[in-house]
Amino acid sequence: MATTYIEPVVKPGPQNWVERNRLRILPIYRYMRRNPSLVWGIGILLSLLLFVGYGTLFYPHERFRPLSADVRLPPSTTYPFGTDTQGRDIFAVMVRGIPLTLRIGLIAGGIGLVLGTSLGFIAAYYGGWVDAAIRTVVDVGLTIPGLLILILIAVNVKGGLSVDQMGLAVATVAWVHPARTIRSQVLVMREQLYVEIARLSGVSGLGIVFREMMPNLMPYLAASFVGSVGAAILASIGLEALGLGPFDSPTLGMTVYFNIVFSSVVVGMWWWLVPPIAAMAMIFVGLFLIASGLDEWANPRLRKRI
Amino acid sequence: MTEIVVERPSGTSAAARRMRFAQRFFVAVVGNYVFRRVLFFLFVVWLASTVIFIIPRLSGQDPVKEKLLLEAQRGGHLQSGFEDMARTYQKRFGLDRPIWIQYRNFILDLAQFDLGPSIAFFPRTVNDILMDSLVWTIGLLGTVTILSFVIGTLSGALLGWPRAPGYFKYLFGPLLTLSAIPFYLLALLLVFLFAFRFSIFPLFGGYGIGKVPDFSLDFALQVLRHAILPAMSIILASIGFWALGMRGMMVTMQGSDFMVQAEAKGLKAGRIFLRYALRNALLPQTTALALSLGTVLTGAVLVEVVFRYPGLGNTLYQAIRLSDFFIIRGFVFAVIVSLALATLIVDITYPLLDPRVKYRKG
């Protein structure tokens, strides 16, 4: 009897990457199904970034400067979005302007979040007169719109604000909302059992803050960050629309300002007005959707409400 | 042996009586909700005035000199007596005194609501200029806030009401999107569509060009026609905000005991909706009204700039273009005071609406 050698059957593994990583993708996919606003929000912002990336790599975006093209040209193959009254190529302005506007928002939102979170923690943790003082300042900050203070600052800076200075200026008013949110969250969290246990086991104050509370605050921090980036961009565009922005930088707000100054609508130059408005609307709607998506992550009980 | 403490019958000596009265007075007035709110209002106004005083001095810029220099450059030559002129102006505005005296005078002036003279329109005062435009802003903003609050709250209530007609839920997406877009972006779009493309409404202004404001019907109609687009842009953008908040509240109302009771009693759906769900969900909306006033106002300022509407926003825009620092300062102060006042009024009337909130504790 000849021994028959049985060829070991090696099942060919799935060649497809998706098939192979099925178990890893599935929960993410399920979560995305459950939280469509987060997906939409991220998608909208990503598509803006793709536009910027494409423009930076394949488009002569140096034409954002005035006098780099003929004036008042409607959209054509050379100038997909046309040109404005001062000879800027509007496609190039968009390619340069979207990241600048986002940059102002990120600078202000980032500083605002760090400052606000620290103050919120300090207020909630120490209580007493420290809390009273911080709370009063936050209450005043909620009563006075940040834009007013920003107007005063911008008017008094010689030669106007640059993009980064603008981010810093907006940061001075961007910490109020995070401070309030984080303070109330920490107040709730302080009474929770796991914080109590950590304290009883002799974990230091900073240890409790960073190892016990921070991870639980993550969704709130993320939502606060998105919120303050949105608010900062809103404030910066408001300032720019009033004519207090960086005149040499092609941010979205400055584009709107020039639209107002040169009455683009009256002359019928819709191609000048529509791109910045569309870009801003996409930024705001995207951030808003991400914020409500994060909200759902933070409070699963709210599920299916927004 | 027990120690006998002879308690002095209280109220015998005048000093003790006075002491007790002071105590009661303190508890009644200082611990009082209204008093604390008023104190907070004064604090906000004082802090704002101080910030307004400090910021220009930090920058080391001299508004009067800047403005004169600008004028001189426009005129084409720098006069020989320029420095003297600047000094005279500084004396006129009291800018040559020590800083604490300047601060004292500044606060005293603001306390009497004297915002000083304008630089660009010199003989006129800032009060005068702001008053002219204030009427327009209050008219526009008052109407718009009430309208958007009512429309937004009602549509939000219907969105969160399970028995509302099915087509209401299609409103949700558009409202959500609109609420995320700032007022003045919407304003620019509306100008483009309805004023330029279809020329249904005027492009800008508060009334027709070459008109003199008077009390005729014709003029009133013109004002109305010019106000529709600015009003629409604010209303459309803020409806979403109210609707979202109201919808959330209505959903939480659904499970509550009094709703179940109302259903069990067999009340009509309309009555349950209006008297039970809506009434209770309305309270947080009023708080939101107080908190949102600032956002609405600053948003409206920019809408006025877009439409060249003759309100405060346009005045501010002109002042920035003419670098008239005193008008800008006056604008900021006036807006902060009116916002703080509005917040104070809402805070004080809130306990009347919601008996659960007592006047005692804030």
* A301 interfaces chain B, CB cutoff of 8 Å: no
Q: Which of A238, A266, A285 sits opposite B302 (nearest CB)?
A: A238
Q: What pLDDT, on the 0 to 100 scale, is given for residue A264?
A: 83
Amino acid, single-letter form, for residue A155: V
Q: What pLDDT, on the 0 to 100 scale, is given for residue B62?
A: 65
Q: Which of A148, A265, A266 sits opposite B336 (nearest CB)?
A: A148
Q: Given pLDDT bands bounded at 50, 70 and 90, which one contains residue A113?
A: very high
The residue of chain B with its CA nearest to that of A274 is: B189
Distances (CA, A) of B52 to A33, A108, A244, B48: 50, 22, 17, 6
In terms of Cα–Cα distance, which of B333, B133, B274 is closest to A144? B333
Q: What pLDDT, on the 0 to 100 scale, is given for residue A5?
A: 75
Q: How far is Cα B313 from Cα A254, in angstroms, rounded to an integer?
A: 18
Asked if B341 contacts B14 with a C-beta cutoff of 8 angstroms, the reply is: no
CB contact under 8 A, B325 and A266: no
Mean pLDDT calculated for residue range A85-100: 91
Q: Which of B44, B196, B248 sits opposite A144 (nearest CB)?
A: B44
CB contact under 8 A, A156 and B56: yes
Q: Which of B179, B182, B321 sits opposite A243 (nearest CB)?
A: B321
CB contact under 8 A, A155 and B185: no
Q: How far is Cα B251 from Cα A306, in angstroms, rounded to an integer?
A: 11
Q: What pLDDT, on the 0 to 100 scale, is given for residue B4?
A: 55
Asked if B153 contacts B282 with a C-beta cutoff of 8 angstroms, the reply is: yes
Bridge partners of residue A83, in order along the sequence? A89
In terms of Cα–Cα distance, which of A111, A117, A106 is closest to A181? A117
Q: Residue A261: its chain B contacts at CB < 8 A?
A: none
* A49 interfaces chain B, CB cutoff of 8 Å: no
* A210 interfaces chain B, CB cutoff of 8 Å: no
Asked if A253 contacts A236 with a C-beta cutoff of 8 angstroms, the reply is: yes
Q: Residue B43: its chain A contacts at CB < 8 A?
A: 136, 140
Is the confidence at residue A47, as pLDDT, over 90? yes
Instruction: Provide the 10 A C-beta neighbour count for residue A163.
Output: 18
Q: At what angle do helices B33-59 and A128-143 cross, to 10 degrees?
A: 70
Q: How far is Cα B131 from Cα B116, in angstroms, rounded to an integer?
A: 13
CB contact under 8 A, B188 and A277: yes
Is the confidence at residue A241, as pLDDT, over 80? yes
Q: How far is Cα B43 from Cα B21, in angstroms, rounded to an integer?
A: 27
Q: Given pLDDT bands bounded at 50, 70 and 90, which one contains residue A304?
A: very low
pLDDT tens for residues A161-179?
888 999 999 998 889 989 9
CB contact under 8 A, A152 and B332: yes
Is the confidence at residue A66, as pLDDT, over 90? no
The residue of chain A with its CA nearest to that of B325 is: A155
Q: Which of B48, B191, B251 sits opposite A144 (nearest CB)?
A: B48
CB contact under 8 A, A152 and B47: no
* A145 interfaces chain B, CB cutoff of 8 Å: yes
Q: Given pLDDT bands bounded at 50, 70 and 90, which one contains residue A305?
A: very low
Q: Which of B43, B182, B332 sits opposite A234 (nearest CB)?
A: B182
Q: Residue B343: its chain A contacts at CB < 8 A?
A: 143
DSSP H helical ranges for A8-78: 17-20, 22-34, 36-58
Q: Which of B55, B177, B320 sits opposite A244 (nearest CB)?
A: B320
Q: What pLDDT, on the 0 to 100 scale, is given for residue B9?
A: 54
Q: Residue B317: its chain A contacts at CB < 8 A?
A: 242-243
Q: Residue B325: its chain A contacts at CB < 8 A?
A: 155-156
Straight-line distance from the first to the last Cα atom of chain B, in angstroms, rounded to the nearest whole number:
49
> Closest approach of chain A CAs to the CA of B261, in angstroms?
24
Higher pLDDT residue, A228 or B114? A228
Q: Given pLDDT bands bounded at 50, 70 and 90, which one contains residue A303?
A: very low
Bridge partners of residue A89, in order along the sequence? A83
CATH number of B126-353: 1.10.3720.10
Domain ranges of chain B: 62-112, 126-353
> Closest approach of chain B CAs to the CA of A143, in angstroms?
6
Contact partners, residue B40, CB within 8 Å, separation at least 6: A136, A139, B344
Asked if A81 contacts A95 with a C-beta cutoff of 8 angstroms, the reply is: no
> Closest approach of chain A CAs to the CA of B295, in angstroms?
7
CB contact under 8 A, A277 and B58: no
Distances (CA, A) of B349 to A59, B149, B153, B359: 59, 18, 20, 10
CB contact under 8 A, A148 and B298: yes
CB contact under 8 A, A242 and B294: no
Is the confidence at residue A306, as pLDDT, over 50? no
Domain ranges of chain A: 34-72+81-302
* A284 interfaces chain B, CB cutoff of 8 Å: yes
Asked if A95 contacts A61 with a C-beta cutoff of 8 angstroms, the reply is: yes
Q: What pLDDT, on the 0 to 100 scale, is given for residue A20?
A: 75
Q: At what angle do helices A214-241 and A90-126 cross, to 10 degrees?
A: 130
Q: Is the dihedral of CA B250, B251, B257, B259 positive or negative?
A: positive
Assess if CATH 3.30.450.40 describes domain A34-72+81-302.
no
Q: Residue A242: its chain B contacts at CB < 8 A?
A: 302, 305, 316-317, 320
Q: How far is Cα B277 from Cα B250, in angstroms, rounded to an integer?
A: 7
**pLDDT by 10s per residue, chain B, length 362:** 455 555 555 556 788 888 887 777 766 665 677 888 898 999 999 999 998 888 888 876 666 666 666 666 665 555 556 666 667 766 666 666 778 888 888 888 888 888 877 777 777 888 888 888 888 888 888 889 889 999 999 988 888 887 777 777 787 778 878 888 888 888 888 888 887 777 777 777 777 666 667 777 777 888 888 888 889 899 988 888 888 888 888 888 877 888 888 888 888 888 888 888 888 888 888 778 877 888 888 888 889 888 888 889 889 998 888 888 888 989 999 889 988 988 888 888 877 777 666 554 43
Q: How far is Cα B138 from Cα B205, in angstroms, rounded to an integer?
A: 16
Higher pLDDT residue, A264 or B76? A264
* A143 interfaces chain B, CB cutoff of 8 Å: yes
Q: How far is Cα B40 from Cα B37, in angstroms, rounded to an integer?
A: 5
CB contact under 8 A, A156 and B203: no
CB contact under 8 A, A234 and B291: no
The residue of chain B with its CA nearest to that of A240 is: B302
